[in-house]
Amino acid sequence: MAYEGILLGMGNPLLDISAVVDEDFLNKYDIKLNNAILAEDKHLPMYEEMANKYDVEYIAGGATQNSIRVAQWMLQIPGATSYMGCIGKDKFGEEMKKNSKLAGVNVHYYEDETAPTGTCAVCVVGGERSLVANLSAANCYKSEHLKRPENWALVEKAKYFYIAGFFLTVSPESIQLVAEHAAAKNKVFMMNLSAPFICEFFRDVQEKALPYMDYVFGNETEARTFSKVHGWETDNVEEIALKISQWPKASGTHKRITVITQGADPVVVAEDGKVKLFPVVLLPKEKLVDTNGAGDAFVGGFLSQLVQEKPIEECIRAGCYAANVIIQRSGCTYPEKPNFS
């Protein structure tokens, strides 16, 4: 089977602790909707408080892992996808392994002896989400793990690589190793802007990886932050997408394509000096459960068609389909089989 191990993801495996909260809770911990941040000391009590005060759900998460699981679900070909990241040796870690195996993803976790499995507070108000990640073990991933023969074999086997920008805070060396391999072997390397704080505070490592990116994903807020950080003096998402696509490339095999989602507004695709807009499937407000995982699901749907070498229109359609399914459910979860033709 040609699809085995075709897509490899690397990132921060986190257990989502998801609950519908209230404005007071957001204000107390100084968190904003539609944002994603790393937990500081002031945030640490919130995990316990959420569990005690609200109706919490525990869902396997982490941006890259979500995208890979969704791509796997859309493909319905066991073992088409692989994933690496670091978890702890604990009950949450075991849960994560069980979840991923059930999803059909070939996971090679690095298991840290000391740190607990990372968690992410998903605070939902009015269907919109705010993410506060306590990386713990996820922050302990080392490139030594990637270099082990049984793990590097996954890199050799894959033809497509996807890494969320969040992993730039953990192991830029690992990203660089995979990026350089992809460029040398004419494979497809893809990343996500992932969050405003990545564009602002991890600018150097992001810029080092950018020349290797054949596809750049992101949403409108991240794109505008990227523009501001680079002094482009434009808030126009189409212009920004174009500028990102024209950033110099490490390898000339593939032209860079930028794909920016804008919630209910059209998806912006920039390639070859041109911009195209793709309208999304609109969902009536009463059907929206939460937006947690929507962007990840979009990428997962997109990748499921890209690895089959489908045209970009089909990739976008699959991305929109997957995102539409996910926002009608809690967290990044999906029914048994996709209904996508």
Where are the chain's structural domains?
Answer: 7-13+61-117+136-327
Cβ neighbors of 192 (< 8 A, separation 6 or more) are 63, 162, 163, 164, 165, 216, 217, 218, 295, 299
Q: How far is CA 216 from the centre of its chain?
A: 11
pLDDT at 181: 98
Neighbouring C-beta atoms of residue 220, cutoff 10 Å: 17
Q: Which two tokens stand for residue 204?
A: 């150097």
pLDDT at 58: 87
Q: At what angle do helices 149-157 and 172-184 cross, to 10 degrees?
A: 50
Q: Which residues pair with 47 in a beta bridge?
A: none
Q: If you average pLDDT over residues 205-225, what whole number do you get? A: 98
Residue of 36, 60, 22 whose CA lies nearest to 130:
36
pLDDT tens per residue across span 219-243: 999 999 999 999 999 999 999 999 9
Please tell me the pTM assigned to this model: 0.94
Q: Which residues pair with 261 in a beta bridge?
A: 219
**145 has a pLDDT exceeding 80:** yes
Answer yes or no: are the C-beta atoms of 257 and 214 closer than 8 Å.
yes
Q: Which two tokens stand for residue 72?
A: 């796997």
In 126-223, which ranges are E strands?
A: 128-134, 160-164, 188-192, 215-219
Q: Which two tokens stand for residue 332?
A: 């990044």
Residues belonging to the active site: 296
pLDDT tens per residue across span 9-60: 999 999 989 999 999 999 999 999 989 999 999 999 999 899 899 999 888 8
pLDDT tens per residue across span 88-127: 999 889 988 988 888 999 999 999 999 999 999 999 998 8
Measured distance CA(143)–CA(125) in Å, rounded:
38
Considering the chain, what is the average pLDDT of its residues? 94
Quote the percentage of the chain above a pLDDT of 70: 100
User: What is the three-class DSSP state of 154?
Assistant: helix
CATH class as words, domain 7-13+61-117+136-327: alpha beta
Answer yes or no: are the C-beta atoms of 295 and 315 closer than 8 Å.
no
Whole-number CA gyration radius for the chain: 18
pLDDT at 1: 52
Answer yes or no: are the C-beta atoms of 220 and 260 closer than 8 Å.
yes
Cβ neighbors of 239 (< 8 A, separation 6 or more) are 232
pLDDT at 331: 73
Q: If you average pLDDT over residues 187-195, what whole number do you get? A: 97
Neighbouring C-beta atoms of residue 85, cutoff 10 Å: 30
Q: Say which range, 155-164, 251-260, 283-292, has the weakest mean pLDDT.
A: 283-292
